[in-house]
Structure 1
């Protein structure tokens, strides 16, 4: 406590005897070449990793909600993001990326760290606005494995993985499916997709799978070069992630970062940034942040919660216009429509007002 009086400053300290003692758990470290059995044994000591038992002897490993909320990350729980293991054969049947973070989200993704540690060239890829799904292979069952959000498609209570399988078979013909099956089996890889399903999980686009990367089904994270992603996508006649830019020095990269970070006219979710060593970070753009905030406001209006806190959160004119527009809409429409659909309706209304103003002028 600091007490300030005329011409004098006093400090006072008071012990607080009521608190929760720290458990002082020691971090768990593993060697880079650790076997899968040893790695799984380490997980028993890790409070921020959870195992979910699934059909066909498969378990998915992922970081816990507590790790996310408390921002507790280490070399183990970033590795188990989307890791699916057949516990009978002790084989990884599907694998996605290690957990990676937004710029400024972690010490290692802040600009003052990146300026000294990014290894050039640095490549920027677009980030499609969907959800992540993988296609792996289970040797014991001799079948493809479709996964998303810690589940396989065999778990019917979770729809996202089932939608990956459904869209996969709608996208590829029988010969292509057979080729993909032999490809992921023989090369011990998973195909990592961005899954776009506007009708079921609304985003901006029509139903499609976008090939992001080809990740090796092994404990240490490793993926095929982008040239192989391009080759496979062209052979299968499907979309792939797009390379936006390549930078060969810090100055050009930082100028680009500054130019896009505050540009609300770029109507994309953001970008994935990857350096020459494989280090990855991501940049979310203002347009995405804006509508993410509006989604929570939309939900509050739909649930008829108190509007006072939302009014206090509105910082720019467009937020206030959208909020006012929401209050004028049919509550049933607000409740039943996704934020994407409401955004489209709002932008059409805004465009109509601009046209009318132009005619009146």
Structure 2
């Protein structure tokens, strides 16, 4: 097939171009909303060879999980241009996929939902373990733009150019030919760059398997329009890129059974894989839908070891899901002391070799093969961390959850010390784990410093403890509405608080407003929030019963062995008990 002579996508319509202009305006508005050091959407302008400015856009990851998604597009990895002449229209230069999620990561990636709401064919492509690379033709197809997921002119995109030239050269093609082809089709090519010489990830890629795997071709439009894998393979063959292997199924059930078989075997065609990316359709076959299947055995456990190693090397707290990670850590620490030179470039090199050494050591110690040691269980300890501002209802919810499930509960408002109050709070929280599997750290935790202090403290003491954030999200709600609603609650509760009452603090609105403006959004990709595993999003404007039911349902779904679904009457009784609670002046943690 000579793809150069065929049109894969139609040109953008006038309506689509107007939608892009509106999209950029909305994204700009989001990027202007800053909460202390965090922006909901970040933009960065890059220079392309002195010829053109290219703007990249990156949103906080959790926003994609919101229903409805507040962003004007769910594209993750998007690059645009804004022509200098006002008469010209802005364009999408390169576009990745819409953000898609792992099985059971969100309600719409549960197998039950997928089987009921999607249509085939189901294209299951191997999820190659590399870094995302985007390629597009710009400047009327004269130049080839190569980027990483969110940036250009960085080592990943530069290595992408190197591999582009290798593949194109072998196929007798040039950068200019690929650029012209992509520009003609208003398209972006989506690759996985797998090159252990440049950067090791988790799965091993020997020299014979390295390079750019063409995974998809997307139309440069606001709505996702991505080619079927059969067409992507033809383009890969013509331009010399590595194919991404694809398996086709007519039903979600058949695809599910195939994925489970690979999970059980821990191998596909003789090699361990990260998992699969699945393409199908929703809304009566009119809309593309994607999700991923990432295997915990062995991929996610090996990924955990890599993260634990990096945090130990940086003298930071670490966590684990698999008990075998404790064996790994016990083996790793002496290795770091004895052979520090082996870990100098561990961020990108030595990951695979270190893991192999441990598995060989462990197999010799107890005779079990790697396949036999991957079913270890996780810790049952859970820290519930509210993230809120004054008057959102965090103490009411904490008291109700404690009554329903017997959780330990420490309140920062009970701590009267001004000096080292955060340390005293953390110590009280840790002490409660001596008698409770689940502890609620009832504090605003609205800044990254407070959250990092708390999560670091629990992970240093209990590396296996799960951390769940009860997140009263302040995004997409005006600060004025939050202040009005929460101030009314503070007034209505009267003196039922240790300190924050209208009588004791006449300027309580000013204090509350300061908290609202200093609220930093959760960002699980950040260093400060990376130890949080699960987020339960709550509404600061909703009533206490709605938020309590939301939290109860989420906890029972996430941890069914620890949280059993209570009756409606039990939920209401627990909430009334929380409303009736009145702290005493002497109820103080010293």
State the TM bucket, normalised to the shorter chain: 0.7 to 0.9
| Deviation of 1:351 (Å) | 6.2
Q: Give CA deviations for 1:268-296 in whole Å, capped at 9, x if unaligned.
A: 11111111442100011011110111112
Matched residue, 1:341: 353
Q: Give CA deviations for 1:4-36 in whole Å, capped at 9, x if unaligned.
A: xxxxxxxxxxxxxxxxxxxxxxxxxxx988522
Structure 2 runs not aligned, ≥5 long: 1-14, 34-39, 370-590
Matched residue, 1:182: 180
Matched residue, 2:328: 322
From 43, 46, 51, the equivalent of 1:54 is 46
Partners of 1:52 and 1:150 within 8 A in 2 = no
Matched residue, 1:27: none
Matched residue, 2:278: 273
Scaled by the length of structure 1, the TM-score of the pair is: 0.76
Structure 1 runs not aligned, ≥5 long: 1-30
From 158, 161, 168, the equivalent of 2:164 is 168
Q: Give CA deviations for 1:91-150 in whole Å, capped at 9, x if unaligned.
A: 222111111111111121122321210212212110000010011121268311111132
Matched residue, 2:295: 285
Partner Cα separation in structure 1 for residue 82 and residue 21 of structure 2: 10
Partners of 2:141 and 2:179 within 8 A in 1 = no
Whether 1:74 aligns to 2:72 is no
Matched residue, 1:114: 114
Describe the SS at the equivalent of 1:60: strand
Partners of 1:85 and 1:91 within 8 A in 2 = yes
Whether 1:252 aligns to 2:254 is yes
From 82, 97, 107, the equivalent of 1:87 is 82
Matched residue, 1:16: none
Matched residue, 2:105: 105
Distance 1:305 1:150, change over 3 A: closer
Partner Cα separation in structure 1 for residue 16 and residue 117 of structure 2: 21
Partners of 2:17 and 2:91 within 8 A in 1 = no
Describe the SS at the equivalent of 1:273: strand
Whether 1:223 aligns to 2:226 is yes
| Deviation of 1:194 (Å) | 0.5
Partners of 2:102 and 2:292 within 8 A in 1 = yes
Alignment of 1:230-245 (within 5 A): 230-243=233-246, 245=247
Partner Cα separation in structure 1 for residue 308 and residue 225 of structure 2: 40
Partner Cα separation in structure 2 for residue 73 and residue 340 of structure 1: 40
Q: Give CA deviations for 1:156-215 in whole Å, capped at 9, x if unaligned.
A: xx3222221122123322634333122112112111110112122213213401111111
The aligned length equals 315
| Deviation of 1:75 (Å) | 6.4
Greater mean deviation of Cα atoms: 282-291 or 42-51 = 42-51
| Deviation of 1:334 (Å) | 3.7
Describe the SS at the equivalent of 1:200: coil
Rg larger in 1 or in 2? Answer: 2
Partner Cα separation in structure 1 for residue 42 and residue 146 of structure 2: 20
Compare the two structures and name the one with the higher strand fraction. Answer: 1
Matched residue, 2:129: 129
Partners of 1:63 and 1:77 within 8 A in 2 = no
| Deviation of 1:255 (Å) | 2.8
Greater mean deviation of Cα atoms: 233-242 or 339-348 = 339-348
Matched residue, 2:341: 332
Scaled by the length of structure 2, the TM-score of the pair is: 0.48
Whether 1:300 aligns to 2:302 is no
Distance 1:350 1:150, change over 3 A: same
Partner Cα separation in structure 1 for residue 82 and residue 177 of structure 2: 26
Partners of 1:215 and 1:222 within 8 A in 2 = yes
Q: Give CA deviations for 1:312-352 in whole Å, capped at 9, x if unaligned.
A: x4643x43432232123123324533422311333444566
Matched residue, 2:507: none
Describe the SS at the equivalent of 2:173: helix
| Deviation of 1:59 (Å) | 0.9
Matched residue, 2:471: none
Matched residue, 1:195: 193
Partners of 2:121 and 2:250 within 8 A in 1 = yes
Partner Cα separation in structure 2 for residue 351 and residue 279 of structure 1: 42
Q: Aligned-pair RMSD on alpha carbons?
A: 3.0
Partners of 1:298 and 1:334 within 8 A in 2 = no
Alignment of 1:37-48 (within 5 A): 37-46=21-30, 48=40
